[in-house]
Structures are given as C-alpha cells and as structure tokens.
Amino acid sequence: MNILESIHTNAELRSLTPGEIPALCSQIREELIEKVSGTGGHLASSLGAVEITVALHRVYDPYKDRILFDVGHQAYVHKMLTGRREKFDTLRQLGGISGFPRPDESAADPFIAGHASDSVSVAVGMARARTLLGEDYDVVAVVGDGSMTGGLCFEGLSDVGESGEAIVIILNDNGMSINKSVGGIARLLSRARTRPGYVKFKMAYRRVMQHLPGLHAWLHKLKEGLKKRLLPRGGIFDDLGFEYLGPVDGHDEAAMEEALRWARDRRAPVLIHAVTVKGKGYAPAEASPELYHGVDVFDPARGVKPCAAEDFSARFGSTVTSLAEKDQRVCAVTAAMERGTGLEQFAERFPERFFELGIVEEHAAAMCAGLARQGMRPVFAVYSTFLQRSYDILIEDIALTGEHVVLAVDRAGIVGRDGATHQGSFDLAYLSSVPGMKLYAPSSFAELGSMLSVALEEETGPVALRYPRGCEGRYREDRSREAASVLRTGEDLTIVCHGISVNDVLDAADELSGRGISVQVVKINRILPLDTRECLESLRITGRMISVEEACRTGSVGSQVLAAAAAAGLPLRRVRQLDLGDGVVPHGAPHQLRRVLGMDAAGIVRAAMEVMDEKDPA
C-alpha cells in the first residue's frame, strides 16, 4: 500500500500510526528520487531531511506555525507534504514550482529562502512579532551545518539566546555543507556529535521538574553542579542561551518527534542537534553527496555522470591553475563552492594555496585583502549572487586601499532553474559603485583565459571578471585587448552587448541584415571603467540603440551609454534596453528565460524592427 498516496492533508499525516511512518519515509524517498531525476534539482539535501520534515509536520501545523528552511533546497519534502506533490514534474521549470520555499506558492512557506544562514535571524523577528502582537504560533528553523559556518547565523543565534523567545532551531548536521564544512565550527560540531547524548534523560528530567516546581527550586543549585555531570553540554549553544538537545538521530522519526514535542513545550530557545546523512536512502548519493547536491536530469538506475562538457567554470579552473603554476603568489579562495567554481583541479595541485572557507563570503573577501596586502595574488571565485554578501568588504577592505584582489564572478547573468534568489542580476550594478573596480566581461573561453591573465598579471587594485553559467556559443574570438570591439559595422542601428549575449546579438544581426537593416554591433569587453567611444561614434551615425545585457537595468552598460550620450550632447532617436529589468527573474531554463525576457535572437530582432519602425520623438 502506498501511504504517501493516501495523505492529502496535515490531519491525515498526523493520524498515521508510528508504525506506518518508516514506510511513508521510504515512499517519500522513492518519489523524490524519481521526480528529481526527471527534472533535476537539489536531491541529496532533501533525502537527508525526510524524517526531520515528517516529524515537523506531525508536531507542528505548517500553515499556522512558521517552519523555516535555511537554504530552502532541503524543503522538497515540505513541499510534497503541503499540496505540491502533484506539481513535482514542474519543479524548477518555467511556470512550475520553485526549488526553494516561496510564500507566493503556498501558505505553508513562511518565507523565501535561498541564501544561507539567514533563517535564524528571520525566525527571531517572527517570534518577536508573535509576542508583541499577542499571537499564538510556533517558530522553527531547520539549519544545515554548512549554514552555521556563516557569521550571519552566529549573529542570529546570539540574538535568539538573548531574546528568550520560544524558538526551536533544528541543526541538521550531516557533517558537510556543499563542500565539507570547514573551520572551527565544524570541529565544534564534530565534538558535539561524539559526545554521549543523554537526550532521553534530559527530556525526562525536565518533564519531572515541570510538574514539581518546588522540587525544581530546591534542586536548582544542586542541578547546576549535577548538570555538568549528567546533562550533555551544548558548548557554544549553551553559552549563547539555548537549551541544547542532542545529538538526536535525524533519521529516527520517532526520536525527532519526541525531541520536537519536548522542545516545543519548553517555550524557550532550544537547539535540537540532529545528525543526518546527506543523500540518505539512495546509495549513490550517500557515497558522493556532493555530486548529488544539485543534479541535472539523470537515470536513477545508473546515477549521475560527472558532466564532461567544458563550461566557463571549468575553463576558469584550468586557467587559474596554469597561472598558479607560473606565479607562486596566485591563490584561489572559495566560499563553499570548490566544485561549482571549477576549483577542484587547483585544490589538488596547490593545496597550500587553496582556501575553501565555508559559507563565509564576507570573511573570504577580507581574507583576500590580507593576502593581497602582504604580497600574494588571491583570486576569489564566487557566484554573482553570493558576492552580494561581500559588498561592504569590497569597498572598505579592498577598494579604499586598492588591494589587488581578483574576483572571479561566476554565474553572472541568468542562472536559470534556481530562480529569483540565485540569478546573477546585480553584480554589474554593485561592482560599479566600488571605487576603482575594474570589470571584464569575457564572451568566450578564450577571452576568459586572456582576461584572467591580464587581471592577475597586468592590473593593479581590485579587478573582477563576470562570466556566465554554462558554455560558450558561436562567438569564440579573443578580443580581450580591446575595451570595446566593433563586431559588425552598420548605419541603421547600434546594438551594444557584453558577455554571452553576443551570441544572440550576432544571430539577430545576421537576420536583420537579411531584412536590409544594417547593424553596428559593439561588444563591450571591459565594463569598468567603461569606454563609450565606440558606442558614441556609432550612435552619432545611427541615432538608434538597443542594448542587450544579462544584468539589471540599474548601472547597466546601456544606461551608462545613454548618460554619456546625453552628456556629450548627442541626440538619440530611438532606444531600447533589453536587460534583466529590476533584476527579479523567475526560475526556468536559461533559453526559456531569455525568450520570455525578449533577449534571445528573435526578441532582439523584434525590438530592432520596432526601433526602426518608430517615428522620431517629438
């Protein structure tokens, strides 16, 4: 019998007998593997959170209580149990359900989640609102051990402890984040993991004390002494004001339920330390959890094959490794993205110059500043969306004294299926405001290689390269020596672009040429400082501009060219900016998103025809 099929409401889930739960969990796992192998998505984290999530849904009301999942990719089971099971075929597809919690998708998703380490902060805000408004619901956050490396999480935990609010934090500790957890916090957790539990004793002790307040008071002083002997200390969590309960087997649903009920009834900050196995229940994922963290479509019987195709990340990795071969000062730094940024080869070849620091984008940037200040040449490889966390450090610790730190900004522009929380929409905007920042935009693997060499060997001060997720297209030249390149000459229309948008622009130019429209294509190779001469010269002739760029409108090259044109007294006839607008781009395949945004070749042709058709402004 398929129990999962019979569950449609939270009440039905609660009415299951304890004996039915293991079978339910197995069925959830099977369905997870089946569905996610068909769509791609974050598999291993959700496999590791099955029992935790079932327990949460049996103890709490997911529609009334606020269950937060830090870095929401562990929330798939939560989604399945809150009315979205039938939609799992659409996971991360355009128009389908998101791979992360989203309040606009379900009332059971209390908050958006994508970037790590924020859930504890959000939880204490929610708990305080509850108290101030006199309302009655519970607040729970499920936080991975990787998220605990982030300083933001520490700030949040410190405040929860201080607040005294009834909040339950589940530390879902699988002993690794996306890469292996690193730093002192990992040591601290592993120490906690190996301590004997006394969990049941602690729960029983508390229960007795609750019913015998007199005894409680009398025992209080004695307890403080006894506690140290009898109750497991939670180390830092005790110090921060939590009641620590753990370690609990996070795959023993009954134990998790019991711990949760106990914690819920404490009406105080409680941390439940649940030990889990990432990828639990699917042998290939248990064996290689990193490989199954985020997967593309795969055959569950055969497992995931490491992707062979070279992409920008891989080319970055091989280039920085060969540059490090030549120059002993070159270091590579990553914040929990060794594999994602293509640094595995570097890590193997130069372990002493490779620094994987955990989910700590602020620290990583500041550490690079220290390395650079004392003569090393650090390259910080980081996704565009996560570098947002380092913004202040980029200004204060890197730009003001001109430290020669190279930022390898991966996943710039449209990222695709991870959706709004992960698109690389903003890097161009925020890097533009960092004093003295130089920004290159390679369009081909060859340009990535050359520009990285230039950034390390010829530039000084802060230098960034922004490059996309995925592979190069038809454009394979190397124009890295030009600030801007005229790829096509024409008199009717100027199209300005950078990065991989050049491929769609060239397709569009070909099509327009066939329609008798002569297009000047200007590819910007160095965005900061921006040299607008090629653009303005062309605009002097055409008077019409289309800009195509995978970046939000604010700070975009198109906007900068417009301002420069106005400052130069250059009158324009027609302008169209094709970009990521306010930067909020939903999930979907990149080619679909480009189509929807009108940034693919067809969209550019359409915009061009409109620009050519339109009358001059009055």
Interaction pattern, residues 574-613, with a second copy; x per rule: CB under 8 A: xx------xxx-----------------------------
Pick from 64, 82, 65: nearest CA to 13: 82
Q: Under the criterion CB under 8 A, does residue 185 sit at the interface with a second copy?
A: yes
From residue 189, give the alpha-carbon distance in Å to each of 145, 195, 330, 495, 517: 8, 10, 32, 54, 64
- For residue 251, the SS3 value is coil
As given in the structure block, the two tokens for residue 227 are 């506690």
Considering the complex, state which of residue 84 and residue 377 has its C-beta at the smaller distance from a second copy.
377
Per CB under 8 A, the list member of 223, 264, 488, 573 interacting with a second copy is: 573
Considering the complex, state which of residue 268 and residue 570 has its C-beta at the smaller distance from a second copy.
570
Residues 6+ apart with CB under 8 A from 152: 117, 118, 121
- Distance CA(464)–CA(165), nearest Å, equals 43
Q: Under the criterion CB under 8 A, does residue 391 sit at the interface with a second copy?
A: yes
- Give the gyration radius of the chain's Cα atoms: 27
Q: Under the criterion CB under 8 A, does residue 123 sit at the interface with a second copy?
A: yes
CA angle 280, 282, 314 (to 5 degrees): 95
Cβ atoms within 10 Å, residue 193: 15
Considering the complex, state which of residue 73 and residue 353 has its C-beta at the smaller distance from a second copy.
353
Considering the complex, state which of residue 429 and residue 446 has its C-beta at the smaller distance from a second copy.
429
Site residues (CB under 8 A) for a second copy, limited to 5-24 = none
Residues 6+ apart with CB under 8 A from 73: 41, 42, 45, 46, 99, 100, 294
Q: Under the criterion CB under 8 A, does residue 322 sit at the interface with a second copy?
A: no
Considering the complex, state which of residue 24 and residue 160 has its C-beta at the smaller distance from a second copy.
160
Considering the complex, state which of residue 188 and residue 219 has its C-beta at the smaller distance from a second copy.
188
Considering the complex, state which of residue 188 and residue 209 has its C-beta at the smaller distance from a second copy.
188
Q: Are strands 438-440 and 484-488 parallel, antiparallel or unpaired?
A: unpaired
Sign, CA torsion 134/138/142/143: positive
Instruction: Find the length of the chain.
Output: 618
Site residues (CB under 8 A) for a second copy, limited to 225-254 = 235-236, 239-241
Interaction pattern, residues 264-303, with a second copy; x per rule: CB under 8 A: ----------------------------------------
Q: From the CB of 90, what's the least distance to a second copy, in Å?
A: 20
Q: Are strands 526-528 and 438-440 parallel, antiparallel or unpaired?
A: antiparallel
Site residues (CB under 8 A) for a second copy, limited to 402-461 = 420-421, 426, 429-430, 432-433, 435-436
Considering the complex, state which of residue 108 and residue 552 has its C-beta at the smaller distance from a second copy.
552
Per CB under 8 A, the list member of 94, 268, 376, 609 interacting with a second copy is: 376
Q: From the CB of 501, what's the least distance to a second copy, in Å?
A: 19
Q: Determine contact, residues 29/72, Cβ cutoff 8 Å.
A: no
- Distance CA(12)–CA(31), nearest Å, equals 19
Candidate list 79, 389, 479, 576, residue with the active-site label: 389
As given in the structure block, the two tokens for residue 166 are 């009834």
Q: Under the criterion CB under 8 A, does residue 188 sit at the interface with a second copy?
A: yes
> Is 373 labeled as catalytic in the residue annotation?
no
Our CA dihedral for 203, 205, 208, 213, rounded to 10 degrees, sits at -110
With contacts defined by CB under 8 A, name the span among 115-123, 271-279, 446-454, 519-527 that binds a second copy: 115-123
Q: From the CB of 101, what's the least distance to a second copy, in Å?
A: 10
Cβ atoms within 10 Å, residue 247: 21
Pick from 509, 446, 505: nearest CA to 481: 446
Site residues (CB under 8 A) for a second copy, limited to 460-519 = none
- Under rule CB under 8 A, how many of the chain's residues touch a second copy? 115
Helices (H), 149-278: 151-163, 184-194, 199-211, 213-230, 236-239, 253-266
Q: Under the criterion CB under 8 A, does residue 396 sit at the interface with a second copy?
A: yes
Helices (H), 413-491: 427-432, 445-457
- Distance CA(95)–CA(589), nearest Å, equals 11
Q: From the CB of 438, what's the least distance to a second copy, in Å?
A: 12
Q: From the CB of 507, what's the least distance to a second copy, in Å?
A: 25
Site residues (CB under 8 A) for a second copy, limited to 341-370 = 352-353, 355, 357-358, 360, 362-363, 366-370
> Is 361 labeled as catalytic in the residue annotation?
yes
Q: Under the criterion CB under 8 A, does residue 567 sit at the interface with a second copy?
A: yes
Candidate list 58, 79, 130, 278, residue with the active-site label: 278
Candidate list 31, 51, 253, 361, residue with the active-site label: 361
Considering the complex, state which of residue 132 and residue 308 has its C-beta at the smaller distance from a second copy.
132
Q: Under the criterion CB under 8 A, does residue 565 sit at the interface with a second copy?
A: yes
Q: From the CB of 152, what's the least distance to a second copy, in Å?
A: 5
Interaction pattern, residues 125-164, with a second copy; x per rule: CB under 8 A: xxxxxx-xx-x-------------xxxxxxxxxxx-xx--
Q: Tell me 375's DSSP state.
A: T
> Is 229 labeled as catalytic in the residue annotation?
no
With contacts defined by CB under 8 A, name the span among 36-44, 79-87, 394-402, 500-508 that binds a second copy: 394-402
Q: From the CB of 475, what's the least distance to a second copy, in Å?
A: 27
Counting Cβ atoms within 10 Å, is residue 363 exposed (0-12), middle (13-18) or buried (19+)?
buried
Residue positions annotated with a catalytic role: 278, 361, 389
